[in-house]
Each structure stands twice: as C-alpha cells, then as structure tokens.
Structure 1
Amino acid sequence: MNLRPSRQAWLVVAGGFVAFTVSASLMHAYTVFLLAFIADFAWTRAEASLAYSVGQVVGGVSSPLVGGLVDRLGAMRMVLLGGCLLTLGLVGSAMATSLWQMVFLYGFVMTFGAGCIGMVVFVPLVSRLFVERRGLAISILQSANGSGRAVSAPVAQLLIDAHGWRGAYWIQAGVMAVLVVPLALMFRRAESALPAPAADKAVANVTAARDWTLTAAMRTRHFWLLFLVYALTSIGSFLVSLHQIAFAVGVGFDPLYAAFVLGTGALLALPGVIITGSISDVIGREKAAITTYIISMIGSGAALLIHSGDQHVMLWVHACFFGITWGARGPAITAKTADLFGGKRLGTILGVITVGSGLGAGIGAWAAGLLFDLTGTYRLAFWLSMASYGLGAMFFWSLRKPVAR
C-alpha cells in the first residue's frame, strides 16, 4: 500500500503556507501597535491587551464553527471569506477612535477572518493526504505562523514610524484587498489538481479504520488531555509574546531595534517548526514536543535576566530561544490529534479542541498586561509562562498510550 504523498498534495501544503503566512502577519502586527495605542489613547496595558485577548478567545471558541464550515464549503471559499473579513477589519481599525471599536474589529471581525485562513481549515485536508509524512506536512503549515510573526514586527514598526498607526492600517488593508482573490484562486487551483477522494484508496482505507465522531472523541481521556495541552501551551506563549516589544522598550531598548531582534528570533520559528514536525515522525510526538517546551522555558527565563537596554546578548538569547519554538509544538500536537482522532470529522474535532488554545491565549495575553499594571513589571508573567510550559509538557507526555474506543 503506497501512502507516499503526491506532487499535488505538496501543492496544497504550499497554498496553505502562503495564505496562512499572510493572515498570521496581519494578526501578529498587533504586538507592535500596542505601544502606539497606549501613547495615543492613554490606555493601560490591560486595556491595550483586551482586543488581542478577546481575539484569542474568539478564535478558539469559533474554531468548531470554522471546522464545520470547512467540512462543507472547502478551503477555497474559506480563504475568500477570511480575506474579505480581514480587509474589512483593517479598514475599520484605521478609523477606530475607542477601545470597544478595536475590540470588535480586531477581536471579532479580523479574528474570525484569520480563522478562515488558518490551521483548522488546512489541517483536515492535509492530514488525509499525508499519512507517512504527516508530521512534516503539518509542520510546514504551522511554520507559516512563525513566518508571519517574524515579518509583522519590523514591517509594522517601519510603517508606523513612517505613516503613523492609522496610515499603517490603511496600507495593510490595501495589501490584503489586493491579495484576497489571488490567494483564494491559488488554493482552488491546488485543490482542483487533486484526485477524487475515492481514487486514493490507500488513504481512504487508513482513514476509514479510525473514523471518529466528535461525540466519541469527547468520551475519551485523550480528548480532554489534548484540550489542556492546547490551553497551557497558549497560556505559556501569550504571557510573553504580545508584550515582548513593550517589555524590551520598557527596559531601555530602541523600539525599531527591539522589533528587529524579536522579529529575527521569530523568523527562527520557520526551521524550528519544520524540524520539530519532521522529527516527531521519527522519535514520536511526545519527545519532540517536550524538547520544545524545555527550549521555550529557557527563552522565557532569559527575559528574567534582562534589566537594562545594554544587555544585547541576553535579548538575543531570549528572542532566539523563545522564537525558534514559537508554534513548534503545534505540528506535534496537531499531528497527535490527527493520529488519535482521524476521519471525516477531524475538522470539527480539531476545532473543538482548539477552543482550549484560544482560551489559553486570551488568558495569557490579558493576564500579562494586568500583571504589569499591578506590579509594574512583566517578571511574574515570565515565571508563570515557564510554569505553564512545564504543566503542558507533563500532560502531553501522558498522551503516549493509545486511545481506547
């Protein structure tokens, strides 16, 4: 039985990578806009973090809806819908004058749009096309998140410096408007090149052998352990990521320099995610994921050692260790989900489990801002990040035994 992916299957991965990179770069740019909002509106750190936090929660809660829609509409229509919503949200953000408007535009409109061009849309299709090299394929998709994050920080900072934050939003809206149709058509061409599902009997036989439903999955211990893993991992990541630039500027680094260093660190997520996903096919999902948890904890711990703007080496250590593992657990966790709960309803199952990721991200991003408002420092947030990573690693390790139906 030949389970090797075809050339057309890799074309689907390439289309998903490009589309996901675009949407991720627009969403991660909020980390740079954060300081501009604080300066212009005099918001507290918790208030400035609110739209981002709401967006993470909405992204998680809406994942079951997105998963159900992609099962019915297909990836091309989802990319078209998502691109239109992102453009609308960016235009509205350029004209926003109050906190509630930014919460609505970023937290709801743009977040749902980005969800239509994200992992929940692409993973179900890719997981059916890839059996032998599933970890690698999903890792390539997941690496788009890190690529978008790496691009967004320096580009957004340059746009804000040159045109102000409103002008930066207008430029982003224009770029997205131009790319909407090409992205959707590109993915349609990739999908149209695929053979009919019935033609790939090898993949169909493997899938049919483990055709899970959402109800059956929710009755297992593994489902809820995965939910906790998604939540704790997001808490650990977003206690740090949203406020990285604000932290660096606060201790004395130049904003553009900080954006460059942290953006360079985020760029390492591209090889980091792909390597993790690839080795997870060889050494197992658990060992690959736990290795990245340890590296992330070192990255968060390095931030605790930064006290002034002349500690360039330590900033690079923090950026690189945290950046190279940004999203690196994603392929292992997502592939593990596909390993455990494969079948026609994987999109719906993955969407429900991803609620944990959204809740964790929202809690982490908002809590870091609140902790700064209460203590005047991000250090407690960094400590909690390390603790969340440790718990996530522990729960993920407990998934190594096969699921019982």
Structure 2
Amino acid sequence: MVLCGRAHSTLESQGDNLAKRTVPVTRVYYGWIIVAAMIAIGGMTMIITGPTFSLFIDPMQEDLGFSTQLFGWANTARILTAAVSGLYIGKLLDRHGPRILLAIAGSVTALVAISMGFFHPAWWLIGGFMAMGLVAMQGPASFYTSPSVAKWFVRDRAKALGILSIAAPAGLIFGFPATEWIIDKHGWETGWVVMGVASIVVIIPVSLIFLRRQPEDIGLLPDGDVPSEEESTGDALVSGASTEHQWTRAEAIRTREFWQLSTVFSLFVLATNSMLIFRVVHFVSNGVDPSLIAWGAGSAQLGAILGAVTMGRQVAFAGLERLSALNILVMVACFVLTVSMATPLMMIVAMYTWSWSNNMNGALQGTLFASYFGRRHAGAIRSVSLTTNMLFAAAAAPLAGYVNDATGSFNAIWWPMIGVLLLSAFLMATSKPPKLRVKATA
C-alpha cells in the first residue's frame, strides 16, 4: 500500500518539529558567520560580474573600437556557460561544500579581470567571460551562496536568506561609484585590475577561513539548536538533519512542483532581463536627466536592503507562496510605471519597485526550493532551476533589442511581458509543496 503525505508546507512547521527535540543555543550560531561571509563574497562578485560591467563599455569602445554587439555576446557567453557548468557545480557543492570551490572560482574570476587590464583582443573579451561562466560566477554568485546558507537553517531559513540578499544591493551601493571613480581618474584598464585584486583580497581568504559545508560537519544542528536533555548529541544530529525530507535531485525533478517553481522564476527573469539593460536608455529617451536616474538607481538599493532584512517577518505574516506572488505583482507595477512614465517621480518609484522585487526574488526562490525539497541536496536541485532561469535570461535581452529595432519602441515587448509576469504570479500563488510517497511498513 502506498500512502501520500504532504511535505512540510511552511518553514514554521519544519521549525516546530525541530524544536520538539532541541532547545535554542544562547551563543552566536556559526550559521550567521556563514551568512556574513557569503554577503562579503556575493557583494564582491556582484561588483565584478554585475551591472558595473556597463561602465567599461564606452571607454573600451573608444580606445579599442569594439562594437556594442561584442559586449552583448560576452555577457551572453558568460550566462550560457554558467548555465551548463552550474549543473555540475551544484553537485560538487553538496558533496564538498563551498570552501575550496569558491576559492577556486574567485581566483579564476580575479585573474580574468586582471588580464582585461593588460590583454585586449576582442576574442578574449568573450573568452574571459566564458571562463567566469565556467566557474559559475554570475551576479551575486547565486549558484554558491544561497544553497550553502540554506543548509544551515530550517526555522530561520527565510530570515537568513533574506539577510543574505543584502549582498547584491550592498555591492552596487559601494562598487558602482567606486568603479566609476577609478575609471574616470585612472582609466578602464586600472579599473579591471583593481576589481581583480579586490576579488583576491576578499573572496579567497573569506572562503578558506570561514566557509564550511553544513552544521553537522562541525557538530552543530540547524538554526543553532542544541540537543534536549532527553537526547544524546549524536541522536539529535541525526533527527535534526531529517526533520524535513531530503529530496535528491533525481526525485525533485520528477515532481510537478519542481517544474512549476522553475517556470515561475524562469518567466520572472525572462520579463526582467528584457528590461534590465534598457531601462536607463528608455528613461533618458523620455527626457529624464541622467544624474536623476543615477540617484534614483542608487537610493533604490536602500529599499532593497530594507526588504532583505525584514523578509523573515514578511514570510511569517504572509506565507512563502503568497509573499512570492505579491513580490511578482510589485514587478508588474514597476513595468507599468516604466512603460507609461510621464514624470521623474514615476521613474523613481519604478526604480524602487524594481530593486525591491528583483532582490527579494532571489531570496524567496532559495527559501522556497529548500522548504519544498530540503537542504541536503540544495546545491544540485537549485542548479537545475538556476540553469533553466539563465537560459531564459540569455534570450531576453536579444529579443527585446530585436523588437525595439523592428518597431522603434521597447513598449512592444514590455507590455506583453506584463502578461508574462501575471502568469508567473498566478503559478506562484497556486504552488504547493510536493507530496511525499511513503511506503507503509507492515
């Protein structure tokens, strides 16, 4: 006889079960050290592989004669190679942890950046970015950071992953103006070298000194709990690890719920990446002063940080699925404001809603997958979904550029993308945790 039992639907129920066998620890839990280390690494990676890349385009074109298309292909090459390599890195992350993997990835990324300051053939721009992609260094290093942090928390997972998402806006707040200043005062070659050296200084030592695979490896339990008086430490480690069912990647990808979640976030990145690199151009063409756009984009990161540090409370109030659906609707509002923009105030509100929704999306995605499928194989499971997301992301910008060239306006692609986001929100609102098939024992 086969019985169907629903997996734990919320992080709260998982935490309640764990709390029955453990009591909270009073000292600082090492999982929070992992969160702080990953914020430093994610912020640094965001600086070197994120939007700061756009600051190099004009000066490199002026000095080297590179076409705009070449920079677009370089970014696409990194996304596509990261999508493929991430499938293998996820499994390595579950088996060995992020400590050595991130040190290697940080070294490769740093050496590529430094080489850009001295070696300038067009083919190397694409080749160097492919090298970054091969070690899955893209944005705030989501292939490494989110699955690693998820392994250290059950009850406080939403809070931890929310705080982790500070990495991206913090990296942009400090890295964007710093990189712009270096390029302006010392040239783009120096800018690449400084970013590479900074990566060596931050990513490698932080990875090697602080990162560990999971709490059980150092005799701890998730969330910093300790065994109750009725249990031995060894028994508690086993029971604490099994509080939520630990799906394997093979099991997870056979469920409808996995592909529903993956579709939700793939549709989200398809829509947002169609707008990502064209928002500023759109605002300028509609008469907004570039300095006001820069101020709006920078100050909006503070809103993203506020959303990050309060995410745990938001999840407790609204629930994971409802909060995630509402977050997508915030992006819908951003799209409507951007397309119909008539005043600078509308642009600023669009910037704030973009930063809030886009940053929250990553944290909520990591929390949902770990809540649905457990933490033991989080790297391998998330890598499949992230790969799917990145394939959609790689197609979005070229599609938007093609539509703009053909029609003379981005509105022809952004209005339909509002429909894509609404579909994403509907699928998210109707998502439920997977059912676990358990064989009954005689």
Q: Which runs of 5+ in 2 are unaligned?
A: 1-20, 222-232, 438-442
Alignment partner of 1:132: what SS?
A: coil
Find the partner of 1:14 among 21, 29, 36: 36
**Partner residue of 1:322?**
354
Q: Which moved more, 1:283-292 or 1:69-78?
A: 69-78
CA gap 1:117/1:13 in 2 versus in 1, 3 angstroms: same
**Partner residue of 2:377?**
345
In 1, Cα distance between the equivalents of 2:131 and 2:170? 23
Alignment partner of 1:242: what SS?
A: coil
Find the partner of 1:220 among 255, 260, 263: 255
Mapped pair 1:354 → 2:386: yes
- Counterpart mapping for 1:356-375 below 5 A: 356-375=388-407
Q: What is the CA deviation profile of residues 352-376 of structure 1, one whole-angstrom value per residue up to 9, with x for unaligned ones?
A: 1211221122122333333344444
- Counterpart mapping for 1:126-137 below 5 A: 126-137=149-160
Find the partner of 1:378 among 384, 393, 410: 410
Q: Which moved more, 1:265-274 or 1:36-45?
A: 36-45
**Partner residue of 1:291?**
326
In 2, Cα distance between the equivalents of 1:371 and 1:62? 30
Alignment partner of 1:129: what SS?
A: coil
Find the partner of 1:300 among 330, 335, 340: 335
In 1, Cα distance between the equivalents of 2:296 and 2:250? 45
The two structures have a TM-score, normalised by structure 1, of 0.87
Amino acid at match of 2:239: N
**Partner residue of 2:196?**
173
In 1, Cα distance between the equivalents of 2:289 and 2:122? 27
**Number of matched residues?**
402
Find the partner of 1:60 among 66, 77, 83: 83
In 2, Cα distance between the equivalents of 1:163 and 1:186? 33
Find the partner of 1:2 among 15, 22, 39: 22
**Partner residue of 2:239?**
205
Q: Which moved more, 1:149-158 or 1:219-228?
A: 149-158
Mapped pair 1:388 → 2:388: no
Find the partner of 2:97 among 65, 74, 99: 74
The structural deviation recorded for 1:346 is 2.1
The two structures have a TM-score, normalised by structure 2, of 0.80
The structural deviation recorded for 1:90 is 0.7
- Counterpart mapping for 1:251-290 below 5 A: 251-253=286-288, 255=290, 257-290=292-325
**Partner residue of 2:145?**
122
The structural deviation recorded for 1:58 is 2.6
Find the partner of 1:235 among 252, 270, 282: 270
Q: What is the CA deviation profile of residues 297-345 of structure 1, one whole-angstrom value per residue up to 9, with x for unaligned ones?
A: 21222222347xxx43222112111112222122222211111111522
CA gap 1:110/1:219 in 2 versus in 1, 3 angstroms: closer
Alignment partner of 2:188: what SS?
A: helix
In 1, Cα distance between the equivalents of 2:273 and 2:309? 21
**Partner residue of 2:228?**
none
Q: Which runs of 5+ in 1 are unaligned?
A: none
In 1, Cα distance between the equivalents of 2:214 and 2:432? 34
Contact 2:49 2:137 in 1 (8 A): yes
Q: Which moved more, 1:165-174 or 1:7-16?
A: 165-174
In 2, Cα distance between the equivalents of 1:20 and 1:250? 33
In 2, Cα distance between the equivalents of 1:123 and 1:3? 26
Contact 2:43 2:140 in 1 (8 A): no
Find the partner of 1:24 among 23, 33, 46: 46
CA gap 1:333/1:377 in 2 versus in 1, 3 angstroms: same
Contact 2:46 2:139 in 1 (8 A): no
Select the structure that is richer in helix.
Answer: 1
The structural deviation recorded for 1:251 is 4.3
The CA RMSD measured in Å over matched residues stands at 3.1
- Counterpart mapping for 1:138-217 below 5 A: 138-188=161-211, 195-196=218-219, 199=233, 202=236, 204-208=238-242, 209-217=244-252
Contact 1:3 1:131 in 2 (8 A): no
Contact 1:66 1:116 in 2 (8 A): no
The structural deviation recorded for 1:229 is 1.8
Mapped pair 1:105 → 2:128: yes
Amino acid at match of 1:134: R
In 2, Cα distance between the equivalents of 1:197 and 1:36? 51
Amino acid at match of 2:43: T
CA gap 1:51/1:266 in 2 versus in 1, 3 angstroms: farther
Which one has a bigger Cα radius of gyration?
2
